[in-house]
Amino acid sequence: GGTILDDALSFDIFSQAAQAVRSPAGLDPMGGLRVERVIAMGWSQSAARLSTYHNSIHPLAGVFDGFLIVMGGGVAGQLRTDLDVKVLRLLSESEIAGSHGGVSQLREMDSDRFRRWEV
């Protein structure tokens, strides 16, 4: 009946919110402040969803300048390395110690576009 009762549109909403900040039309959510960069950030479960966004939606939408993925994403959150966007993944010792043998997958190699910090 035209009502969406799940998170099927969440990635599109996220993209549209970033676009509204980057290039406002009508109401300016930044109140006239000049936006230089838009960085997506997710923590824990949101970090896992942001990893999916980075890999699947960002190549199509391209509205973010960078990603901050904190304490989440896990082994299933392995990030693509062919995208031209900066990513900082921040992991606590809980992710590393509790990765059930997937430590090597969590420890992606640093590059000019990716940094991993463990705290």
Each of the 119 residues of the chain gets a pLDDT tens digit; together they read: 678 888 888 999 999 999 999 999 889 999 999 999 999 999 988 888 899 999 999 999 999 999 999 987 655 568 888 999 999 999 887 776 665 555 555 677 889 999 988 88
pLDDT of 58: 96
State the alpha helices, DSSP H only, in 23-111. Answer: 45-52, 58-61, 93-97, 103-106
pTM score, two decimals? 0.84
Distance CA 93, CA 98 (A): 8
Distance CA 3, CA 69 (A): 31
